[in-house]
């Protein structure tokens, strides 16, 4: 089957074509308008989605070298995400499916981040653990089948990506700061500053204490030396990144031991982080795990992961009607 995938949950407008499980195109229109505001402005995001959605879909069809009449079903992100942003993708998907007389497939964005592992070889075998780390979520997911997933650990407050984005804001870097922290961290010494590791029971996470510790650390040091940030930016970024990575990997290790699972994957925007990717590889070698890390273009928000999820649902004829509506919160 030929599946058109649509993603519009946050600030990326994306369209992808998947043919028999192979991704032939993945067009991502990023929204730069939010940089000036230090975070995503929901009303602006949905307006830009409206401008980008038709060109993104047209480009995805062109890049895949297919005809729009070849499309057998439309898969779209139903949630979770910003309601106004989701509404643009959902409305487009419904209109397209209605006009072509083809089925609609709803996709959970967080499940799709996990299913990004079914785009390229080698694909993980079930069961596997997936650490899904993004701007809005931090989850350890026990993946029993394509759509049988259980969250066994998650953040009790901020997400890992949010902690990185807030840190970069404190450092005066533009939004989104995660990629800039990554870039600076490569030039710094991660052992320069010690930030606290929260003591949270079980497999859950907390990042708000770390964020506050960083805020006070910067405030006190800038009070003593107004050039503190500029003089030490690389070491600060490297130290912060190291702490975030150790918090994530320590819990992942605990989960893998507790569940006796050796297939371990990373997903979500923060899985683009160099330190986290290297850290998982190294830990995997120590532990004898099979580790799975997606290509960069499938880490941050993209429609290829929606299209591949749609492909597996198409095989089960798991369709939804025209009365479907987006969900800002959407459990598995
Ligand atoms: P969610 O998936 O929870 O709904 P989202 O869709 O906004 O949230 P993603 O696009 O999956 O999130 O991820 C965006 C996050 O990834 C941001 O917090 C961003 O800073 C972070 N990020 C992207 N690249 C990197 C990187 N190289 N290093 C660290 N963080 C990164
Ligand atoms: Mg984004
Ligand atoms: Fe996402």
pLDDT in tens, 294-324: 999 999 999 999 999 999 999 999 999 999 9
The two structure tokens encoding residue 42: 């929901």
What's the number of CA atoms in the CB half-sphere (13 Å) around residue 112?
Answer: 33
Tell me: pLDDT of 35 over 90.
Answer: no
pLDDT band at 73 (very low <50, low <70, confident <90, very high): very high
Contacts of residue 299, Cβ cutoff 8 Å, sequence gap at least 6 = 116, 267, 268, 269, 270, 271, 272
Quick one: pLDDT at residue 36? 82
Q: Which two tokens stand for residue 142?
A: 């026990």
Structure tokens at 108: 């959970």
pLDDT at 237: 98
Q: Which ligand is nearest to the CA of 133?
A: 1
pLDDT at 13: 98
Residues 263-275 have a mean pLDDT of 98
Asked if residue 199 has pLDDT above 90, the reply is yes
Three-state DSSP at 299 gives coil
Mapping DSSP to helix (H, G, I), strand (E, B) and coil, where does residue 304 land?
A: helix
Q: Evaluate whether 266 touches 130 at the Cβ level (below 8 Å).
A: yes
Nearest CA to ligand 1 atom 29: 178
Ligand approaching nearest to the C-alpha of 86: 1
273 annotated among ligand-binding-site residues: yes
Band of residue 225 on the pLDDT scale cut at 50, 70, 90: very high
Å from CA of 300 to ligand 2 middle: 7
- From the number of C-beta atoms within 10 Å of its C-beta (0-12, 13-18, 19+), residue 79 rates as buried
Q: pLDDT value at position 253?
A: 98
Strands 290-292 and 263-267: parallel
Q: What SS3 class is residue 177? A: coil
Residue 38: is its pLDDT beyond 90? Answer: no
Distance between CA atoms of residues 305 and 312, nearest Å: 11
For 128-142, what is the mean pLDDT? Answer: 98
Identify the DSSP state of 82.
Answer: -
256 HSE (CA, 13 A, CB side):
23
The protein residue with its alpha carbon nearest to ligand 1, atom 5, reads 135
Residue 23: beta bridge partners? 18
To the nearest whole number, what is the mean pLDDT of the chain?
Answer: 97
331 by Cβ neighbours in 10 Å (0-12 / 13-18 / 19+) ranks as exposed
Q: Are 215 and 162 in contact (CB under 8 A)?
A: no
The residue whose CA has the least distance to atom 17 of ligand 1 is 135
Does the structure show a pLDDT above 90 at 98? Answer: yes
d(CA 290, CA 6): 31
Give the Å distance between the CA of 7 and the centre of ligand 2. Answer: 11
Q: What is the pLDDT of residue 101?
A: 98
pLDDT at 191 over 90: yes
Looking at residue 60, what is its pLDDT? 98
Using the predicted structure, report yes or no on whether residue 37 has a pLDDT greater than 90.
no
pLDDT of residue 49: 98
pLDDT score at 25: 98
Ligand 1 within 6 A of 84 CB? Answer: no
Is the separation of the CB atoms in 127 and 142 below 8 Å? Answer: yes
Backbone angles phi, psi at 65, to 5 degrees: 55, 45
């Amino acid at each position: 089957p030929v599946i058109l995938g649509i993603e519009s949950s946050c600030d990326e407008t994306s369209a992808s074509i998947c043919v028999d499980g192979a991704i032939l195109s993945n067009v991502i229109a990023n929204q730069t308008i939010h940089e000036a505001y230090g975070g995503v402005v929901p009303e602006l995001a949905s307006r830009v989605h409206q401008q980008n959605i038709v060109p993104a879909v047209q480009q995805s069809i062109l890049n895949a070298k297919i005809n729009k009449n070849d499309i057998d079903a439309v898969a779209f992100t139903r949630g979770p995400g910003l309601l106004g942003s989701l509404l643009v993708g959902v409305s487009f998907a419904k209109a397209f499916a209605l006009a072509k007389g083809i089925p609609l497939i709803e996709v959970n964005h967080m499940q799709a981040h996990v299913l990004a592992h079914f785009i390229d070889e080698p694909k993980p075998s079930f069961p596997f653990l997936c650490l899904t780390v993004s701007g809005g979520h931090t989850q350890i997911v026990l993946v029993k089948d394509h759509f049988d997933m259980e969250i066994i650990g998650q953040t009790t407050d901020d997400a890992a990506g949010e902690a990185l984005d807030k840190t970069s804001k404190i450092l005066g870097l533009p939004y989104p700061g995660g990629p800039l922290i990554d870039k600076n961290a490569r030039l710094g010494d991660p052992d320069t500053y010690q930030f606290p590791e929260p003591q949270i029971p079980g497999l859950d996470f907390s990042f708000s204490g770390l964020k506050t510790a960083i805020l006070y650390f910067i405030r006190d040091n800038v009070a003593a030396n107004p050039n503190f940030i500029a003089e030490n930016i690389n070491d600060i970024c490297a130290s912060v990144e190291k702490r975030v990575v150790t918090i994530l990997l320590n819990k992942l290790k605990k989960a893998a031991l507790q569940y006796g699972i050796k297939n371990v994957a990373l997903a979500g925007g923060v899985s683009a982080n160099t330190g986290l990717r290297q850290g998982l590889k190294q830990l995997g070698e120590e532990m004898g795990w099979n580790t799975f890390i997606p290509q960069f273009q499938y880490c941050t928000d993209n429609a290829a992961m929606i299209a591949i999820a749609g492909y597996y649902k198409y095989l089960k004829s798991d369709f939804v009607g025209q009365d479907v509506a987006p969900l800002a919160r959407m459990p598995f």
